[in-house]
Amino acid sequence: MLLQVLDYLGVSVFAISGGIVASRLRFDFVAFVFFATMTGVGGGTFRDLILGVPVFWTQAEGYLIVCIVVSVVTWFLAHIVESWGKPLRWADAVGLSAYAVMGAAKAISLGSTPVVAILMGVSTATFGGVLRDVVAGEPSAIVKPEIYVTAAAIGAAVFVLAEAIGAGYWPAAVAGFLSAMVIRGGAIAKGWSLPGYGKMRTSVEP
């Protein structure tokens, strides 16, 4: 049940982030709904295609309904949400944290190895946001210096490890979600980042 909640949460907040970008681009309503839905289900679609299983929203239309409802609400309230400060990044952070767990959990349920499960968690958590930014013609979060992919990887890894040692889905899912959220939240609020390639070199080779 908790994982289902995280799944819908991930879809909803990614749809919100897509809607916010659509509002900034002044899309019409139909394009607005399409853009928000594409962002909401993009990561999970990529995950299911890689795993070779039916795409999740083709088996449960509730996900599409959630995206459409979120789109409509965001259409009317985007200007209010924007006034809160950094709404896109925080919505993206929640979606990333939830989907890092859900992607890893689905891979494990299909018999994938821990490493594959972590990679699926990362892919699920980041692909929707990357797709949103590419289509919008904006710099993707993965090319910015602050921590993004790393947060998803740690969240997925914490979930996989906790589940492997017998912690159970609930504690593992909560631990994975909070791990990713704290790290991504720190990156947003405090500008946490990992050293770049140039900063790690002590000398320049000819």
For every residue of 143-184, DSSP letters joined together read GSSB-SHHHHHHHHHHHHHHHHTT--HHHHHHHHHHHHHHHH
User: Is the predicted pLDDT of residue 170 greater than 70, yes or no?
Assistant: yes
What average pLDDT does range 34-38 have in this prediction?
Answer: 92
What average pLDDT does range 153-158 have in this prediction?
Answer: 97
One-letter amino acid of 66? V
Q: Which of 7, 1, 4 is nearest to 128 (CA)?
A: 7
The alpha carbon of 173 is separated from its chain's Cα centroid by a whole number of angstroms, namely: 15
Dihedral sign, CA of 101, 102, 106, 109? positive
**What is d(CA 142, CA 169) in angstroms, rounded to the nearest whole number?**
29
**What is d(CA 145, CA 193) in angstroms, rounded to the nearest whole number?**
6
What average pLDDT does range 121-136 have in this prediction?
Answer: 91
84 token code pair: 């809160």
Burial of 40 (0-12, 13-18, 19+ CB in 10 A): buried
**What is d(CA 158, CA 29) in angstroms, rounded to the nearest whole number?**
39
Q: For the whole model, what pTM was predicted? A: 0.86
Burial of 32 (0-12, 13-18, 19+ CB in 10 A): buried
State the pLDDT confidence band at 169, using cuts at 50, 70 and 90. Answer: confident
pLDDT of residue 194: 85
pLDDT of residue 39: 92
State the pLDDT confidence band at 46, using cuts at 50, 70 and 90. Answer: very high
Cβ-contact 123, 103 below 8 angstroms: yes
Cβ-contact 176, 118 below 8 angstroms: no
